[in-house]
């Protein structure tokens, strides 16, 4: 009888896992880094790691269908003569015509308007359809200044100066040539078919002192009517918020690393910036230290998916939130009904992120007329409005359970944390304790 040494089962490396090996092979074959859309796909501490405590003997709840829980928010009360009044604190984040089809932009405007909230332009300027279908439209002021002009500045309801975004704090942008249709090219004053680079810094100001003067110029041009937002990526939220306030912002928009992008290097998306959860408390602290909490409003974005996420962001001190990726999904992005076509592109519904290539089967991240025609802007707008309504109702449900008659009355004391990481980042006690890392000398 012979003896065979037992085989050890094949063991793959945790360091060199399948995804890592595939990326090494892809890089070696192409000599090009991986570019994709959307936000980080790695798991980071998030709102899922927080829970609400609900009411108890010391706190009594509000009756779900009888007692009012207000969801309205006013943005831009600090300096603007015409602040923005929204019915829900869930806004639509900036996404460009160019990155998105005209139909998709129209659908975002329709959905936001039905829900009583705002939508936002992007890198590429304002289209007439977008303006026409958006009751409240925020006009982004970006480093590229593609499409920037004073007429659109004046017909906007607010101006958002983009310093950075969560998917790529410190990065510019690139709209690849295949998405440059005649109309996109014309709006950006560039030849058709060439890559359109968006600079990472503004061309005519550098630093917070210049920014203060830039804001003065924009206010003078628009006769001090429009709220001025400053959008920053989640990098140094305490100082960025403080500097934005110092520069004269009415609203600070803070975008964590789960925030999406139309196209950026994967290495950038996955390795630069902080999780949304870690950004909120430092920003709120900065506002409180300056006596400006609730006077300068804070909009948080990056991975907001549900009314629970909304409620948690507001409980941590935000005044409102913004959604981008979730809004695209509500329109129809990554819908399994296009699975056959996703397979042809070498991907699957739920994983499709080559938004920069312009071949989106759902007709959203494309300039191809045939693909874009797949998205009915009326029906898609209705879906977005439904989704916004559900999120708002969900947030109200939680707020009432915590005894709050306005979403803004949610507070950190309503929360507990499930993990040490979330406890530390959100400065919320670990469930069952009164402690979080950093508190009490630990």
Partner 1 sequence: MPVFDLSTTPLRALNSALHALSQGANDTEFEVINPRGSHSVAVGIDTPITVEVRGSVGYYCAGMNDGGTVTVHGSAGPGVAENMMSGTVIIEGDASQYAGATGRGGLLVIKGNAASRCAISMKGIDIVVHGNIGHMSAFMGQSGHLVVLGDAGEALGDSLYEAKLFVRGTVKSLGSDCIEKQMKPKHLAKLAELLEKAGVTDVKPEEFKRYGSARTLYNFNIDNADAY
Among residues 114 and 174, whose Cβ is nearest to partner 1? 174
| 153 counts as binding partner 1 under rule CB under 8 A | yes
Q: Give how far the C-alpha of residue 279 lies from the chain's centroid of Cα atoms, to the nearest Å.
A: 13
The DSSP bridge pattern shows strands 264-265 and 35-36 to be antiparallel
Residue 153 or 393 having the CB closest to partner 1: 153
Tokens of 356: 């920069």
The span of 9-17, 28-36, 273-281, 285-293 binding partner 1 (CB under 8 A) equals 28-36
Q: Comparing C-alpha atoms, which of 93, 90, 119, 99 is closest to residue 107? A: 119
Shortest spacing between CB 225 and partner 1, in angstroms: 11
Spatial separation of the C-alpha atoms in residues 205 and 409, rounded to whole Å: 38
- Classify residue 357 by its DSSP letter: G
β-strand pairing of 158-162 with 173-175:
unpaired
Binding flags for partner 1, 178-197, as an x/- string (CB under 8 A): ----------xxxx--xx-x
Q: How far is the CB of 254 from partner 1 (least distance, A)?
A: 26
Rule CB under 8 A: is residue 31 a binding residue for partner 1? yes
Under 8 Å between Cβ of 404 and 412: no
Stretch that binds partner 1, among 8-16, 145-153, 358-366, 369-377 (CB under 8 A): 145-153
Output the smallest distance, CB 20 to partner 1, in A. 21
CB neighbours of residue 364 within 10 Å: 28
Comparison of 188 and 374: residue with beta carbon closer to partner 1: 188
Cα 377 from Cα 382, distance rounded (Å):
8
Residue 253: its H or E element: strand 251-255
Shortest separation between residue 47's beta carbon and partner 1, angstroms: 36
Confirm or reject binding of residue 214 to partner 1 (CB under 8 A).
yes
150 is a site residue for partner 1 (CB under 8 A)? yes
Candidate residues 62, 114, 174, 200; the one interacting with partner 1 per rule CB under 8 A: 174
Task: Please tell me the distance from the alpha carbon of residue 127 to that of residue 428, in angstroms, as a whole number.
Answer: 43
Find the distance separating the first CA and the last CA of the chain, reported in whole Å: 63
Q: Residue 121 CB, nearest distance to partner 1 (Å)?
A: 16
Which residue number, 97 or 205, has a Cβ lying nearer to partner 1?
205
Q: Is residue 145 close enough to count as binding partner 1 by CB under 8 A?
A: yes
Options 55, 62, 216, 393; binder of partner 1; rule CB under 8 A: 216
- Helices vs strands, H then E, count in the chain: 15, 16
- In the complex, the smallest distance separating the C-beta of residue 307 from partner 1, rounded to whole angstroms, is 40
Least gap, CB of 145 to partner 1 (angstroms): 4
Q: What is the DSSP annotation of 221-240?
A: HTTT-S-EEEEEESSSHHHH
Question: For residue 81, what are its two tokens?
Answer: 């003569």
Annotate each residue in 391-420 with x if it binds partner 1 (CB under 8 A) or - if it does not, as one string: ------------------------------
Q: Which two tokens stand for residue 300?
A: 């948080």
State the Cα–Cα distance between residues 293 and 319, nearest whole angstrom: 9
Helix (H) or strand (E) segment spanning residue 285: helix 276-289
SS3 204: coil
Q: Shortest gap between Cβ of 157 and partner 1 (angstroms)?
A: 17
- Give yes or no for residue 238 binding partner 1 (CB under 8 A): no
Question: What does residue 183 show for φ and ψ, rounded to 5 degrees?
Answer: -70, -45
**Nearer residue to partner 1 within complex by CB, 30 or 58:** 30
Asked if 430 touches partner 1 (CB under 8 A), the answer is no
293 binds partner 1 (CB under 8 A): no
Determine if 176 is a binding residue for partner 1 (CB under 8 A).
yes
What are the residues binding partner 1 (CB under 8 A)? 30-32, 144-145, 148-151, 153, 174, 176-177, 188-191, 194-195, 197, 199, 203-205, 210, 213-214, 216-217, 220-224
């Amino acid at each position: 009888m012979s003896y065979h040494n037992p085989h050890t089962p094949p063991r793959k490396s945790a360091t060199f896992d399948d995804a890592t090996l595939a990326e090494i092979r892809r890089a070696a074959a192409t000599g090009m880094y991986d570019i994709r859309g959307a936000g980080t796909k790695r798991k980071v501490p998030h709102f899922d790691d927080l829970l609400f405590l609900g009411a108890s003997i010391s706190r009594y709840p509000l009756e779900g269908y009888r007692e009012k829980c207000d969801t309205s928010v006013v943005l831009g009360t600090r300096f603007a003569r015409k602040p923005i009044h929204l019915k829900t604190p869930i806004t639509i984040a900036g996404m460009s015509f160019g990155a998105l089809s005209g139909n998709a932009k129209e659908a975002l405007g329709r959905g936001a308007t039905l829900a009583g909230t705002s939508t936002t332009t992007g890198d590429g300027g304002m289209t007439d359809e977008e303006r026409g279908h958006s009751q409240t439209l925020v006009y982004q002021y970006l480093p590229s200044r593609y499409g920037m002009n004073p007429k659109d500045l004046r017909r906007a309801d607010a101006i958002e100066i983009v310093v950075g975004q969560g998917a790529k704090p410190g990065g510019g942008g690139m709209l690849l040539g295949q998405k440059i249709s005649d109309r996109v090219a014309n709006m950006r004053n560039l030849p058709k078919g060439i890559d359109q680079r968006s600079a990472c810094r503004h061309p005519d100001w550098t630093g917070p002192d210049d920014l203060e003067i830039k804001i003065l110029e924009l206010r003078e041009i628009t006769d001090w009517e429009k709220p001025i937002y400053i959008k920053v990526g989640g990098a140094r939220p305490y100082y960025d918020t403080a500097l934005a306030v110092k520069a004269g912002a009415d609203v600070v928009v803070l975008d964590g690393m789960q925030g999406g992008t139309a196209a950026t290097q994967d290495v950038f998306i996955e390795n630069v910036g902080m999780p949304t959860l870690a950004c909120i408390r430092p920003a709120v602290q900065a506002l409180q230290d300056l006596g400006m909490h609730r006077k300068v409003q804070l909009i948080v974005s990056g991975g907001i998916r549900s009314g629970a996420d909304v409620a948690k962001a507001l409980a941590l001190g935000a005044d409102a939130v913004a959604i981008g990726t979730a809004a695209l999904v509500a329109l129809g992005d990554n819908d399994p009904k296009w699975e056959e076509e996703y397979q042809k592109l070498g991907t699957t519904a739920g994983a499709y992120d080559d938004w920069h290539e312009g071949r989106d089967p759902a007709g959203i991240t494309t300039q191809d007329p045939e693909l874009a025609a797949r998205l009915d802007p009326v029906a898609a707008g209705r879906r977005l409005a439904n989704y916004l309504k559900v999120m708002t109702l969900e947030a109200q449900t939680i707020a009432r359970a915590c005894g709050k008659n306005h979403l803004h009355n949610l507070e950190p004391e309503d929360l507990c944390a499930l993990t040490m990481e979330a406890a530390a980042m959100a400065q919320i006690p670990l469930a069952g304790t009164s402690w979080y890392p950093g508190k009490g000398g630990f």
